[in-house]
Structure 1
Amino acid sequence: MLDRLITELDRALRTLAAPARTGRPLPGGDLPEAELDETQRSHVGALMRINHVGEICAQALYQGQALTCREPTVRDALRRAAVEETEHLSWTASRMSELGSRPSLLNPLWYGGALMMGVAAGLVGDKWNLGFLAETEKQVEAHLQGHLDRLPPADQKSWRILEQMRQDEREHAHTAERLGAAQLPAPVRLAMRAASRVMTGVAYYV
């Protein structure tokens, strides 16, 4: 039990403080930098900060869900999804750096809140755990589409990153559904959207 606690603490510290690793090349990494004015660079940097926060939250959610889920197949699916989310964390951090932006100052708070949500989702049972995963990924996919629509047309580097992330999130949702995800009640889905709006609104600036 102590070994597992140390492992999970190490995972949290690496998510918050260490550079994330990626096994796939950075999408759009071979493209030239677009000519963006300061307002556009600031705007895209803020969008990338929001998505970086989303990936911080994803790591915490998956960690909490994996801690409390019962089925090994579900736990394995969560771990596999977390690996891809780590790549997303690396990509968004890299793009923020290129744009002269910075991570959210509230990342430890976002991480802690998401971890508690993940633990709670796992405790209510695996089909609901998977349902929470599927709904989260569907909402993230829609959120990413909104960001794609808000990017300056010239910024193909950011577009490639967000588009690949969107495709990955869709596949995560499909995987959860194939494993038997239950559809969450409408009030829960609405509460998740409301929480997401608060997070994205704050993370754009802080």
Structure 2
Amino acid sequence: MPAARHLSTLDRLLVEAQRALETTLGDPPPARPCPADAPDPVLPPPARRHAAGLMRINHVGEVCAQGLYFGQAAVARDPATREHLLHAAREETDHLAWCAQRLRELDSRPSLFNPLWYAGSYAIGMLAGLRGDGWNLGFVVETERQVEAHLDEHLDSLPPADERSRQILRVMKDDEARHADNAERAGARVLPPPIPQVMALASRFMKLVAYRI
């Protein structure tokens, strides 16, 4: 069996650049089929714009999750923690692809600021990772719990006829809960104040911007 290739610093930079481009400007394929199998409803224009705004927020959330997890994995000290983060990121790629597909069905587009969202999340992920693997996993738990909460809000706020979007968000919510549970079992530390509050404030700002742009 061939030995694993040792990546140079340049190799690692190129890998991270490719991940960033695929996440923000590409169209990475999902590993799982899209869970939306309900008919696409004919929504009146205001309801369609509202559904698109919510799905754009969720798409941005997945862009941020990719940036966060890849940033954390880049500096993770324990190989098991790194693999945990990369596995979660692979599942978030499914979410990213499903949200992008639903945006196209709604005749809309992703956020124009996706490269900025990714870059900021990647930087936060690296800072979290540099504090140690317990903090690394703690950020996973807090991120996923906050995402679960806003997915619940979106499930309530979507137009009643838009079952396709709901089917996607339900599967995403189950995945996010599992990521948080796995991180807790792997030794996540509880983030002290004011970190969760700052994360929630940043999330509210992102949602306000991403809903429209």
Q: TM (normalized to structure 1)?
A: 0.98
Instruction: Flag structure 2 segments of 5+ consecutive residues without an equivalent.
Output: 1-8
Alignment partner, residue 96 of structure 2: 89
Alignment partner, residue 24 of structure 1: 32
Question: Counterparts in 2 of 1:6-155, with a 5 A limit?
Answer: 6-28=14-36, 30-155=37-162
Offset of 1:196 from its aligned partner? 0.3
Q: Does 1:193 align with 2:204?
A: no
The one-character-per-residue Cα deviations of 1:135-158 (angstroms, maximum 9, x if unpaired) are 000000101111001011211100
Instruction: Flag structure 1 segments of 5+ consecutive residues without an equivalent.
Output: none
3-state secondary structure, aligned to 2:35: coil
Q: Percent sequence identity over matched residues?
A: 55
The amino acid across from 2:103 in the alignment is M
The amino acid across from 2:27 in the alignment is P
How many residues align structurally?
A: 205
Q: TM (normalized to structure 2)?
A: 0.95
The amino acid across from 1:146 in the alignment is E
3-state secondary structure, aligned to 2:111: coil
Offset of 1:35 from its aligned partner? 2.5
The list of structure 1 runs, each at least 4 consecutive aligned residues, that deviate by more than 2 angstroms after superposition, is none
CA-atom RMSD in angstroms: 0.7
The one-character-per-residue Cα deviations of 1:58-93 (angstroms, maximum 9, x if unpaired) are 111011000111011100000000000000000000
- 1: CA distance between counterparts of 2:24 and 2:158? 26
